[in-house]
Amino acid sequence: SILAMFSCLHEREDWERFYEALNKLAVAYPANGFKEEMVYQPPLPPVIMSPREAFFATTEKVKLAECQGRIAGEMVAAYPPGIPSLTAGELITEEVYDYLNYLKRSGARIQGPEDSALDYIKVIVD
């Protein structure tokens, strides 16, 4: 990834030098082909209890494979972008479960859960 930061104070020559540098990089490091990967859209889980109720509820840690149909006891967010895909108090549906597995396989940096490897997740005790 390359982040180019220019302003209205830069001159045409600056843009041209940047363009030439990008061209040299493209020639020096040709792509091996672009494989488009399917990217999941995070599902919208049903809210079963408020985040406050879920925060104060008793939780237990279960294997990710056993969390379907349970109510989340913690937040799960992938970074980037860092937007929670699951928050405490939401139902872990089949779609949410599939998405959590996708996040785990994708190698995304996971924030929020106690177990950032996402082998386990906290759920509300029934």
Report which of residues 5 and 111 the model is more confident about: 111
Q: Cα(92)–Cα(90) distance, rounded to whole angstroms?
A: 6
What is the reported pLDDT for 55?
92
Residue 111 backbone phi and psi in degrees, to 5: -120, 150
Residue 126: alpha-carbon gap to chain centroid: 28
Is the pLDDT confidence value at 35 over 60?
no
Contacts of 62 (CB under 8 A, 6+ apart): 70, 120, 121, 122, 123
Contact 92, 41 (CB under 8 A): no
What is the reported pLDDT for 5?
83
Three-state DSSP state, 42: coil
Span 50-95, pLDDT tens digits: 999 999 999 999 999 999 999 999 999 998 788 899 999 999 999 9
What is the reported pLDDT for 1?
67
Q: Which two tokens stand for residue 51?
A: 């985040």
Confidence of residue 39 (pLDDT cuts 50, 70, 90): low
Q: Considering the entire predicted model, what is its pTM?
A: 0.69
Contact 121, 54 (CB under 8 A): no
Confidence of residue 40 (pLDDT cuts 50, 70, 90): low
Residue recorded with tokens 């919208």:
44
Q: Cα(93)–Cα(64) distance, rounded to whole angstroms?
A: 12
Select, from the ranges 1-15, 16-30, 50-64, the one with the highest average predicted confidence (pLDDT): 50-64
Residue 37: alpha-carbon gap to chain centroid: 15
Q: Which two tokens stand for residue 34?
A: 């672009």
Mean pLDDT of the chain: 89
What is the helix (H) or strand (E) element at residue 38, kind and residue range? none
What is the reported pLDDT for 25?
85
Confidence of residue 37 (pLDDT cuts 50, 70, 90): low
